[in-house]
Structure 1
Amino acid sequence: MSVPIASQPASTASTHTTGYSLCLGIALFIAQLLWPVDTLAADKLRLQLRWLHQFQFAGYYMALEKGFYRQAGLDVEILPGGPQAARSIEAVLAGEVDFAIANSGLVIARLQGEPVVALAAIMQSSPVVWIVRADSDIYAPQDLAGKRVMLLAPPESAELRITLLREGIDLSQLRISPASFDPQDLIDGRTDAYNGYTSNEPYWLKQQQIAYRLINPREYGVNFYNDVLATREALLEERPEQVEAFVNASLAGWQYALDNTEESIRLIRQRYAPDKPLEHLRFEAQALRKLIMPELVQLGHMNPGRWQTIADSYVELGMAEASSDLEGFLYQGLAQPDHRLLYQVIAGTALALLLTAIVALRFAHLTRRLRQEMGRRLQAEQELRDSNLQLERVASTDRLTGLWTRLKLEEVAHNEIKRAERYQLPLSLLFFDIDHFKVVNDQHGHDAGDRVLSALAQRVQAQLRESDCLCRWGGEEFVILMPHTDLEHAAVMAEKLRILVSAEAAAPDIGVTASFGVAQWQPGQSLRELVKSADQVLYLAKQRGRNRIECFVPSAPRPQT
Structure 2
Amino acid sequence: MSLPVETPPGKRNTTSLRLVLALLLMQLPCLSEAMAAEKMRLQLRWLPQFQFAGYYMALEKGFYAQAGLEVEIHPGGPGKPNPIDLLLEGDTDFAIANSGLIIARMQGKPLVALAAIMQSSPVAWIVRADSDIYTPQDLAGKRAMLMPAPESAELLITLAREGVDRDQLQLQQTSFNPQDLIDGKTDAYDGYISNEPFWLQQQKVPYRLINPREYGVNFYNDVLTTREALLQQSPAQVEAFIQASLRGWQYALDNLDESVQLVHQRYAPDKSLEHLRFEAEQLKKLIMPELVQLGHMNPGRWQAIAQSYLDLGMAEGPIELDGFIYKHKVATDNSLLYQVLGGALLVLLLVGAVALRFARLTQKLRLEVRRRQQAEQELRDSNLQLERLANTDRLTGQWSRLKIEELAHNEIKRAERYGFPLALVFLDIDRFKSVNDQYGHDVGDCVLTGVAQRIRSHLRDSDSLSRWGGEEFIILMPHTDLDQAYLIAEKLRGLLAAEPLTGSIGVTGSFGVAQWQPGQGLGELVHCADLMLYRAKQLGRNRVERFSSGDTLPLV
TM-score range, shorter chain: 0.5 to 0.7
Matches within 5 A, 1:299-310: 299-310=294-305
CA deviation string 1:317-356 (max 9, x = no partner) = 01111223210000001152257xx8xxxxxxxxxxxxxx
CA deviation string 1:368-401 (max 9, x = no partner) = 7999xxxxxxxxxxxxxxxxxx9xxxxxxxxx96
Aligned pairs, number: 376
Larger Rg: 2
- Aligned partner (choices 98, 118, 123) of residue 123 of structure 1: 118
- Asked whether the 8 Å contact 1:471–1:478 carries over to 2, the reply is no
2:262 and 2:98 mapped to 1: Cα distance? 25
1:60 and 1:324 mapped to 2: Cα distance? 31
Letter in 1 for 2:150: P
Q: 1:138 is matched with which residue?
A: 133
Summarize the Cα distance change of 1:454–1:109 in structure 2 as closer, same or farther, 3 Å threshold.
Answer: closer
Matches within 5 A, 1:211-360: 211-337=206-332
- Asked whether the 8 Å contact 2:56–2:248 carries over to 1, the reply is yes
SS in structure 1 at match of 2:218:
coil
Summarize the Cα distance change of 1:458–1:275 in structure 2 as closer, same or farther, 3 Å threshold.
Answer: same
2:509 and 2:233 mapped to 1: Cα distance? 59
Summarize the Cα distance change of 1:207–1:113 in structure 2 as closer, same or farther, 3 Å threshold.
Answer: same
Summarize the Cα distance change of 1:447–1:140 in structure 2 as closer, same or farther, 3 Å threshold.
Answer: farther
1:189 and 1:57 mapped to 2: Cα distance? 32
- Aligned partner (choices 430, 433, 436) of residue 403 of structure 1: 430
2:47 paired with 1:52: yes
Tell me how far 1:119 sits from its aligned partner: 0.2
Letter in 1 for 2:340: H
- Asked whether the 8 Å contact 1:48–1:80 carries over to 2, the reply is yes
SS in structure 2 at match of 1:45:
strand
Q: 1:110 is matched with which residue?
A: 105
CA deviation string 1:42-72 (max 9, x = no partner) = 5421101010000000000000000000111
2:195 paired with 1:200: yes
Summarize the Cα distance change of 1:85–1:251 in structure 2 as closer, same or farther, 3 Å threshold.
Answer: farther
Q: 1:365 is matched with which residue?
A: 340
Summarize the Cα distance change of 1:370–1:70 in structure 2 as closer, same or farther, 3 Å threshold.
Answer: farther
2:522 paired with 1:477: no
RMSD of aligned Cα (Å): 4.1
Q: 1:172 is matched with which residue?
A: 167
Letter in 1 for 2:175: S
Summarize the Cα distance change of 1:403–1:64 in structure 2 as closer, same or farther, 3 Å threshold.
Answer: same
- Asked whether the 8 Å contact 1:405–1:473 carries over to 2, the reply is no
Letter in 2 for 1:365: V
1:176 and 1:205 mapped to 2: Cα distance? 22
CA deviation string 1:407-450 (max 9, x = no partner) = 36999xxxxxxxxxxxxxxxxxxxxxxxxxxxxxxxxxx97997
Q: 1:503 is matched with which residue?
A: 548
Tell me how far 1:364 sits from its aligned partner: 3.9
- Asked whether the 8 Å contact 2:120–2:220 carries over to 1, the reply is yes
- Asked whether the 8 Å contact 2:157–2:308 carries over to 1, the reply is yes
Summarize the Cα distance change of 1:128–1:45 in structure 2 as closer, same or farther, 3 Å threshold.
Answer: same
Tell me how far 1:367 sits from its aligned partner: 3.8
2:198 and 2:319 mapped to 1: Cα distance? 40
Tell me how far 1:366 sits from its aligned partner: 4.5
Q: 1:348 is matched with which residue?
A: none
2:431 and 2:288 mapped to 1: Cα distance? 21
Summarize the Cα distance change of 1:45–1:271 in structure 2 as closer, same or farther, 3 Å threshold.
Answer: same
1:281 and 1:370 mapped to 2: Cα distance? 50
Q: 2:511 is matched with which residue?
A: 457
2:63 and 2:338 mapped to 1: Cα distance? 29
Instruction: Identify unmatched segments of 5+ residues in structure 2.
Output: 1-23, 347-394, 396-426, 439-492, 499-506, 515-522
- Asked whether the 8 Å contact 2:429–2:509 carries over to 1, the reply is no
2:166 and 2:221 mapped to 1: Cα distance? 24
CA deviation string 1:191-231 (max 9, x = no partner) = 11000001000000000111101110000001110000000
Letter in 2 for 1:235: L
1:118 and 1:145 mapped to 2: Cα distance? 36
Tell me how far 1:549 sits from its aligned partner: 8.0
- Asked whether the 8 Å contact 1:404–1:471 carries over to 2, the reply is no
Letter in 1 for 2:540: E
CA deviation string 1:154-208 (max 9, x = no partner) = 1001111100000011111001101111110011111110000010000000001
Tell me how far 1:144 sits from its aligned partner: 0.3
1:325 and 1:115 mapped to 2: Cα distance? 12
SS in structure 2 at match of 1:276:
coil
2:257 and 2:92 mapped to 1: Cα distance? 30
Matches within 5 A, 1:540-559: none
Summarize the Cα distance change of 1:240–1:456 in structure 2 as closer, same or farther, 3 Å threshold.
Answer: closer
Letter in 2 for 1:250: S
Instruction: Identify unmatched segments of 5+ residues in structure 1.
Output: 1-32, 343-358, 372-389, 391-399, 412-445, 480-497, 505-512, 515-546, 552-561
TM-score normalised over the length of structure 1: 0.60
- Asked whether the 8 Å contact 2:510–2:536 carries over to 1, the reply is no
Letter in 1 for 2:185: R
SS in structure 2 at match of 1:118:
strand
- Asked whether the 8 Å contact 1:61–1:268 carries over to 2, the reply is yes
- Asked whether the 8 Å contact 1:140–1:475 carries over to 2, the reply is no
2:318 and 2:251 mapped to 1: Cα distance? 38
SS in structure 2 at match of 1:122:
strand
1:255 and 1:455 mapped to 2: Cα distance? 34
CA deviation string 1:256-305 (max 9, x = no partner) = 11111111111111110111100000000000000000011110000110
Q: 1:76 is matched with which residue?
A: 71
- Aligned partner (choices 151, 155, 170) of residue 146 of structure 2: 151
Runs of 4+ in 1 over 6 A off after TM superposition: 35-40, 368-371, 408-411, 446-451, 470-475, 547-551
2:344 and 2:304 mapped to 1: Cα distance? 40
CA deviation string 1:460-498 (max 9, x = no partner) = 999569x99x8999995359xxxxxxxxxxxxxxxxxx9
